[in-house]
């Protein structure tokens, strides 16, 4: 089965060889919608929009917002500042992190359904059931998003594949002003969980080569980085995943 | 729940520090290999170099290390972190800590491996060779719904690919 619907300013897709019960799909939709209504800056009534307008102090926000902010700060520290929870104008923007967190929560709902072959995609980030899958995952061409760039057959435990780019929706990634322009057009990170994959993909685009090296040293991840001139870098695990898809 | 994870990583970090401190001061008794699966990697404590104080490896001579750590390599207890199980190996030389190496347990083979995960250059043709693979879903930096409408993923969805 395959379902897709608009949410969080983007589109969510669920694909599964076995059917996913309607109640589980509804719960996934609900989890994503709740995150959308609380955190989206394009919704005037969200808590984050009220904070941005100065109507609500961060410390008076709900526990979900404060938890997300605390986690964003923790990731900022872990990535030496490459990942940040603030726009250059100072507005708190947690959209990158909370989308991944909502996907993580949705993954737990799908896991609990007992279906073993599901894949969930939200705005180009993917998380799927642990274990073997009949098909590979694709990565879009950074120069033409109607084209497949490559495909990866990741290990059974590599549940998450997140991709960040510096081309589309420039405001998605807040590049530190004291850092040079990102050398990467697109960075894909595979990890055992979607939050780690998503945050690090964003951080590597923002933090460039030093962050790429830091992320590969510090976390158990596979990375494919596409440079602005088309040059490619891959970790051994990602290279093996590409070769496995090509075989 | 998230706060607990953060605290977990903080505690794990302190755990690693405590291991380092233990070696630097009191020496080997706490440093015996703790995981059966890790026994093959610098497991037995004494890895090689005879140091300036001439004591042969630490693991087997733990009792002698009351005042000063014996030379050798020691592997600490595995610490669970949000990113996987992490283990640290230290080398004591001349009674001083001379090297600290992070080992990473893959959890799945149960085998320790030295972290070596550099992103190296890869040829374009290697990457393009996988284009013909059968894919179930496509990832990309297509964040907006406009980007989605122009994406290969929307084509897959529209085709009802199963």
Kindly state whether residue A121 falls inside one of the protein's structural domains. yes
Tens of pLDDT, residues B61-91: 344 444 567 888 787 777 765 555 667 777 7
Residue A146: which of B123, B143, B150 has the nearest Cβ? B150
Kindly state whether residue A110 falls inside one of the protein's structural domains. yes
B135 with A136: Cβ contact below 8 A: yes
What local confidence, expressed as pLDDT, does residue A103 receive?
97
Kindly state whether residue A58 falls inside one of the protein's structural domains. yes
Q: What's the complex ipTM? A: 0.89
- Determine if residue B45 is left, alpha or beta; phi over 0 gives left, psi from -120 to 50 gives alpha, anything else beta: left
Cβ atoms within 10 Å of A239's Cβ, excluding its own: 21
Nearest chain A residue to B113 by CA: give it: A220
Residue A150: which of B120, B130, B137 has the nearest Cβ? B130
Kindly state whether residue A200 falls inside one of the protein's structural domains. yes
What local confidence, expressed as pLDDT, does residue A48 receive?
93
Q: Which two tokens stand for residue A68?
A: 């997300």
- Optimal mutation site among A6, A8, A11, A229, interface B, most CBs of chain B within 10 A: A11
- Distance of residue A227 Cα from the nearest chain B Cα, in angstroms: 11
Residue B143: which of A10, A213, A221 has the nearest Cβ? A10
Rounded to a whole number of angstroms, the distance between the first and last alpha carbons of chain B is 35
Residue B30: pLDDT over 60: no
Instruction: Determine the average pLDDT of the residues in A197-206.
Output: 95
Residue B36: pLDDT over 50: no
Of B146 and A60, the one with more pLDDT: A60
CATH number at residue A240: 3.10.520.10
Task: Work out how many domains chain A is built from and give that number.
Answer: 1
Nearest chain B residue to A161 by CA: give it: B139
Containing domain of residue A126, as a range? 11-246
Residue B45: pLDDT over 50: no
A11 with B122: Cβ contact below 8 A: no
Of A161 and B13, the one with more pLDDT: A161
Nearest chain B residue to A209 by CA: give it: B119
CB of A96 within 8 Å of any CB in chain B?
no
Instruction: Determine the average pLDDT of the residues in A97-118.
Output: 95
């Amino acid at each position: 089965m395959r379902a897709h619907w608009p949410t969080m300013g983007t589109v969510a897709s669920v694909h599964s060889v076995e059917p996913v019960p309607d109640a589980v799909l509804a719960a996934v939709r609900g989890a994503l919608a709740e995150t959308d209504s609380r955190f989206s800056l394009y919704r005037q009534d969200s808590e984050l929009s009220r904070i941005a307008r100065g109507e609500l102090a961060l410390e008076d926000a709900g526990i979900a917002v404060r938890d997300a902010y605390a986690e964003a700060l923790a990731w900022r520290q872990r990535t030496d500042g490459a990942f940040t929870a603030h726009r250059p104008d100072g507005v708190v923007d947690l959209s990158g992190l909370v989308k991944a967190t909502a996907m993580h929560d949705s993954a737990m709902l799908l896991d609990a359904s007992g279906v073993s072959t599901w894949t969930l995609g939200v705005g180009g980030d993917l998380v799927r059931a642990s274990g073997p899958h009949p098909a590979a995952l694709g990565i879009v061409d950074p120069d033409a998003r109607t084209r497949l760039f490559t495909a990866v057959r990741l290990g059974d435990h590599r549940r998450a594949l997140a991709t960040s780019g510096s081309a589309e929706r420039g405001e998605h990634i807040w590049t530190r002003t004291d850092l040079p322009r990102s050398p990467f057009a697109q960075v894909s990170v595979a990890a055992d969980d979607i939050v780690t994959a998503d945050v690090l993909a964003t951080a590597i685009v923002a933090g460039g080569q030093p962050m790429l090296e830091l992320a590969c040293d510090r976390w158990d991840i596979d990375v494919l980085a596409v440079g602005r001139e088309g040059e490619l870098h891959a970790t051994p695990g990602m290279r093996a995943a590409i070769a496995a898809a090509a075989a | 729940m998230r706060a607990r994870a953060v605290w977990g990583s903080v505690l794990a970090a302190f755990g690693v520090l405590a291991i380092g401190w233990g070696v630097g001061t009191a020496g080997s008794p706490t440093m015996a290999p703790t995981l059966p699966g890790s026994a093959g990697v610098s497991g037995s404590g004494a890895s090689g170099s005879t140091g300036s104080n001439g004591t042969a490896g630490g693991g087997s001579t733990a009792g002698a290390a009351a005042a000063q750590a014996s030379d050798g390599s020691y592997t600490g207890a595995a610490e669970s972190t949000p990113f996987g199980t992490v283990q640290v190996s230290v080398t004591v030389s001349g009674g001083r800590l001379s090297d600290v190496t992070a080992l990473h347990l893959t959890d799945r083979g149960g085998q320790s491996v030295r972290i070596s995960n550099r992103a190296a250059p890869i040829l374009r043709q290697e990457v393009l060779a996988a284009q013909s693979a059968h894919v179930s879903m496509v990832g990309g930096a297509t964040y907006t719904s406009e980007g989605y409408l122009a994406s290969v993923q929307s084509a897959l969805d529209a085709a009802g690919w199963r």
